[in-house]
Amino acid sequence: MNDKKTARNEGIILREIDVDAILIKVLKEDREDILREVTDSKLKGRGGAGFSTGRKWSLAAEARSDQKYIICNADEGEPGTFKDRVLLTDYTDALLAGMTIAGYAVGAESGIIYLRGEYVYMIDHIHDRIKNRYENKLLGDNIAGKKGFVFNITVRLGSGAYVCGEETALIESLEGQRGEPRNRPPFPVTCGFMGKPTVVNNVETFITALHILDKGAEWFKKFGTDKSTGTKLFSISGDCAKPGVYEFPLGITVKEVLTHIGARDAKAVQVGGASGRCVAHDEFESTLAFEDISTGGSIIVFGPHRDMLAVARNFMEFFAEESCGQCTPCRYGVEALLEGIEMLEQRKCSMKYLNELLGLCETMQVTSKCGLGQSAPNAFMSILKNFKHEILSRDSAR
């Protein structure tokens, strides 16, 4: 399967590189130098949460243990996100090399790719690439002639649970449990898979780290903003002329993105998928960066004719389905918001109740156990805020 046709604007991540040459070069460096380079680059996790990758690797490297794990989070379930699909199919070797370097840097011998069940059709391809790397001594024992450096990668499948994209739920799933998020702390870097220090990174993060170690942190920092360095992949869908995967420097404005993709008449953009927020026309000058609108890369465009309450309903139905049900604010909260949407559809929602629902949203953000529940109300809140007039003045129940 070739997804390259959808990938545009080659910058850092999508450029052609000699993966194996970079791996061999990096494995000659000291672990400390690798950790310092990644930290200096200010790379933040590309899954959406935005934790410093260098810090994560360093914490895992410092942890003392006989076993450590490198886990690639390929449970790409956020609605509107498909950039990892492209990376997993067309940049597989870069991912495997990135994981190998992470293993070297933190002192881990085992790598696991947690591939979402929906992507099972690409597993043969990934296994082929892994096998090829074993044959070429780029995985296994004494990698690239480096005595004593061992790293193995296996692939494990998910079984259709969005919440398993949350790193501790993912680990639970790998351990054969229900995918229910754990309390944090302890964080996976000290107590993760099997209770051992574990680095969990997004697919794109591993690949970006490989590029940083190829060309250096200073080069990487030339892209993006001071707080959000580098470029990022964006998965773009919805009402636009050219949907697909794009690479843009962080700090780009929503408006610039819309121009690139042919969506000048958009009335709103959902940034960050179901757990992100709806950005209306008056905010199109905002930037896509960790310090402004933070995102794992999902951009869904809504044209002028879209019914925004229907959009809100779709997102809330998604959360009602995917909430793991472990904590009360999330379990009951998403149901209450979905009921509220039904009342709005029937034009039977008082302003007082609507405000109560918005208060509930804040409670969910503060009191839910994991990122799913904390971000579940975002879409509801932002759509109600931006399109209150449209929603309250609906002329008939649809």
Instruction: Name the site residues for other proteins (rule: CB under 8 A).
Output: 6, 76-82, 84-85, 116-121, 123-124, 156-162, 173-180, 194, 235-239, 243-245, 270, 273-274, 300, 306, 311, 314-315, 317-318, 321-322, 324
Site of tokens 């809100």? 312
- The residues near 222 (Cβ < 8 Å, ≥ 6 apart) are none
**Cα(340)–Cα(349) distance, integer angstroms:** 7
**Cα(28)–Cα(314) distance, integer angstroms:** 50
Q: What are the CA-CA distances from residue 68 to residues 57, 65, 102, 109, 245 (Å)?
A: 11, 7, 11, 7, 33
Query: How would you classify the pairing of strands 268-271 and 231-238?
Result: unpaired
Residue type at 172? Answer: E
Angle between helix axes 19-26 and 203-215 (nearest 10 degrees) is 70
Within 13 Å of residue 132, how many CA atoms lie on the same side as its CB? Answer: 11
Nearer to other proteins, 38 or 171 (CB): 171
Nearer to other proteins, 292 or 322 (CB): 322
Instruction: Please name which of 277, 298, 294, 238 lies closest in space to residue 78, comparing C-alpha atoms.
Output: 298
Q: Considering the complex, what minimum distance in angstroms separates the CB of residue 306 from other proteins?
A: 7
Nearer to other proteins, 179 or 188 (CB): 179
Cα dihedral sign for 89, 175, 35, 291?
A: positive
Q: Considering the complex, what minimum distance in angstroms separates the CB of residue 169 from other proteins?
A: 10
Q: Considering the complex, what minimum distance in angstroms separates the CB of residue 394 from other proteins?
A: 18
Query: How would you classify the pairing of strands 231-238 and 110-115?
Result: unpaired
Q: Considering the complex, what minimum distance in angstroms separates the CB of residue 222 from other proteins?
A: 29
Nearer to other proteins, 45 or 276 (CB): 276
Nearer to other proteins, 23 or 300 (CB): 300
Q: Considering the complex, what minimum distance in angstroms separates the CB of residue 202 from other proteins?
A: 14
Task: Give, in degrees to the nearest 5, the angle at Cα 35 between 232 and 166.
Answer: 50
**Cα(56)–Cα(58) distance, integer angstroms:** 5
Nearer to other proteins, 165 or 230 (CB): 165
**Cα(106)–Cα(197) distance, integer angstroms:** 9
Instruction: Please name which of 332, 301, 303 lies closest in space to residue 316, comparing C-alpha atoms.
Output: 332
β-partners of residue 152 are 110
Q: Considering the complex, what minimum distance in angstroms separates the CB of residue 397 from other proteins?
A: 18
Residue type at 144? Answer: A
Nearer to other proteins, 58 or 173 (CB): 173
Q: Considering the complex, what minimum distance in angstroms separates the CB of residue 158 from other proteins?
A: 8
Q: Considering the complex, what minimum distance in angstroms separates the CB of residue 178 from other proteins?
A: 4
Task: Give, in degrees to the nearest 5, the angle at Cα 274 between 327 and 302.
Answer: 155
Q: Considering the complex, what minimum distance in angstroms separates the CB of residue 336 from other proteins?
A: 20
Q: Considering the complex, what minimum distance in angstroms separates the CB of residue 192 from other proteins?
A: 13
Nearer to other proteins, 289 or 311 (CB): 311
Nearer to other proteins, 52 or 152 (CB): 152
Q: What are the CA-CA distances from residue 115 to residues 86, 91, 112, 124, 262 (Å)?
A: 13, 15, 9, 12, 32
Nearer to other proteins, 119 or 220 (CB): 119
